[in-house]
């Protein structure tokens, strides 16, 4: 299978959010990849295109079968049936409908910060309030704060979990998830597990689907899944809500209808089937390439950017850089992430995502997207190195 991750098409002037929003800069920010999708996906889309008619489409049994087979064989999550899956237009739509179904305006929804930035507006748009359960950064690693979660769970209706976690790159273990599940179960908190990054895990770490926890925990949850992140087809917009319980299914189905996001894209159906049925080998090759990219960043920082570090990346292709070494003497931490991101963009033509986009807990960090050819990554790292030096030496 052709897996050419070193050479990619030029995406400039293609209406790409990543490349065309900040023209003239090297964009390692928004989470899509610069690689062409797997050949089976491109062939399936071409075939669908050649049909020439793009009317409303029924979602066929083969779509649900592809999901069921993939998660059973790849992740040991067995027994997914058509009756458990609600297709929708994206993972944001999936978790937003799940929140809507299990909250009333004014309710509190827990997120573990720093967390995916679009969690915050989804909570607000459902008339709810965000309750932060900040992750703890200790000895260069992130862990959950269960004591704080317990206190927050006593006040909340929903936990919006990110499994694996964007942006800190943790792949939660079964033990960690069981502790979360126990707390939520005792406080009757509904769990919405965003698992969009589930395919993207690195050696030594494997994804635990929330739905493979004991049934008493799974009953009161939904899992939001999609092939779009790992197979680089985010613009095609397709995702699914998994609900184990038929009453949960009915409530989320209703919310998806109320939000008018129940009709999926004909290309999404074709792409999902080709991804799950035929693109596993491409994904394996991608993961090797991304892992080499991650190691490139660690080596570069160690050799050439003294003081910069990143927690061990266990999954996702998003590197969470602790950039506090760039701070000027006496500079306050508050606002640093944004100032440094602006400096990198304006003076060195490098666009990263400021850590505070993911909540105040992201102060001091920047998020770097690894999913690009190695030459692009090395170019970005050189700019980052120069950026650290020029920022540190600049006058406040």
Ligand X SMILES: Cc1ncc(COP(=O)(O)O)c(C=O)c1O
Binding site for ligand X (CB under 6 A): 31, 90-92, 116, 162, 166, 194, 196, 226, 228, 234, 239
In SS3 terms, 138-198 reads as ECCEEECCHHHHHHHHCCCCEEEEECCCCCCCCCCCHHHHHHHHHHHHHCCCEEEEECCCC
Cβ(206)–Cβ(175) below 8 Å: no
Nearer to ligand X, 315 or 364 (CB): 315
Nearer to ligand X, 156 or 236 (CB): 236
| Shortest CB 304 distance to ligand X, Å | 29
Tell me the β-bridge partners of 241: 86, 224
**Which tokens sit at 241?**
């809500």
| Shortest CB 239 distance to ligand X, Å | 5
Tell me the β-bridge partners of 130: 109
Nearer to ligand X, 15 or 61 (CB): 15
Nearer to ligand X, 196 or 297 (CB): 196
Nearer to ligand X, 160 or 327 (CB): 160
Report the C-alpha gap between 224 and 99 in whole angstroms: 12
Nearer to ligand X, 270 or 388 (CB): 270
C-alpha angle 177/227/40, rounded to 5°? 145
Nearer to ligand X, 90 or 315 (CB): 90
Nearer to ligand X, 162 or 211 (CB): 162
**Residue of this chain nearest to ligand X (CB atom):** 90
Nearer to ligand X, 366 or 387 (CB): 366
| Shortest CB 34 distance to ligand X, Å | 15
| Shortest CB 369 distance to ligand X, Å | 10
| Shortest CB 194 distance to ligand X, Å | 5
| Shortest CB 361 distance to ligand X, Å | 16
| Shortest CB 120 distance to ligand X, Å | 12
Is the preceding peptide bond at 164 cis, omega within 30 degrees of 0? yes
Report the C-alpha gap between 388 and 2 in whole angstroms: 38
| Shortest CB 294 distance to ligand X, Å | 17
| Shortest CB 94 distance to ligand X, Å | 8
Nearer to ligand X, 90 or 364 (CB): 90
| Shortest CB 325 distance to ligand X, Å | 27
């Amino acid at each position: 299978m052709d897996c050419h991750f070193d050479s990619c098409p030029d995406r400039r002037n293609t209406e790409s959010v990543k490349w065309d929003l900040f023209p003239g800069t090297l964009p390692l920010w928004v989470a899509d990849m610069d690689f062409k999708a797997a050949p089976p996906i491109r062939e399936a889309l071409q075939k669908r295109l050649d049909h020439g008619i793009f009317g409303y489409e029924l979602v066929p049994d083969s779509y649900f079968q592809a999901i069921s087979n993939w998660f059973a064989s790849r992740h040991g999550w067995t027994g997914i049936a058509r009756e458990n899956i609600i297709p929708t237009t994206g993972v944001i739509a999936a978790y937003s409908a799940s929140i809507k179904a299990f909250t009333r305006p004014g309710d509190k929804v827990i997120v573990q910060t720093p967390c995916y930035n679009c969690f915050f507006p989804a909570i607000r748009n459902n008339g709810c309030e965000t309750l932060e359960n900040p992750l703890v950064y200790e000895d260069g690693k992130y862990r959950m704060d269960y004591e704080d979660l317990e206190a927050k769970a006593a006040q909340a209706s929903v936990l919006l979990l990110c499994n694996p976690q964007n942006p800190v790159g943790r792949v939660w273990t079964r033990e960690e998830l069981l502790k979360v599940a126990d707390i939520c179960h005792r406080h009757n908190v509904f769990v919405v597990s965003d698992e969009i990054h589930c395919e993207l895990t690195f050696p030594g770490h494997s994804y635990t689907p929330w739905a493979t926890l004991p049934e008493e925990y799974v009953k009161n949850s939904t899992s939001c899944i999609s092939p779009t992140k790992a197979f680089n087809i985010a613009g095609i917009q397709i995702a699914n809500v998994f609900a184990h319980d038929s009453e949960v299914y009915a409530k989320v189905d209703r919310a998806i209808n109320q939000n008018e996001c129940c009709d999926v894209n004909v290309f999404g159906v074709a792409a999902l089937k080709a991804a799950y049925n035929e693109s596993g080998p491409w994904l394996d090759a991608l993961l090797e390439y991304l892992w080499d990219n991650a190691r490139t960043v660690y080596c570069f920082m160690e050799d050439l950017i003294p003081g910069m570090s990143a927690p061990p990346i266990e999954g996702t292709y998003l590197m969470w850089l602790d950039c506090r070494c760039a701070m000027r003497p006496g500079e306050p931490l508050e606002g640093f992430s944004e100032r440094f991101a602006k400096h990198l963009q304006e003076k060195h033509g490098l666009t990263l995502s400021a850590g505070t986009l993911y909540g105040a807990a992201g102060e001091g960090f920047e998020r770097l997207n690894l999913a690009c050819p190695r030459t692009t990554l090395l170019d970005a790292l050189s700019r980052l190195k120069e950026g650290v030096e020029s920022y540190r030496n600049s006058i406040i």
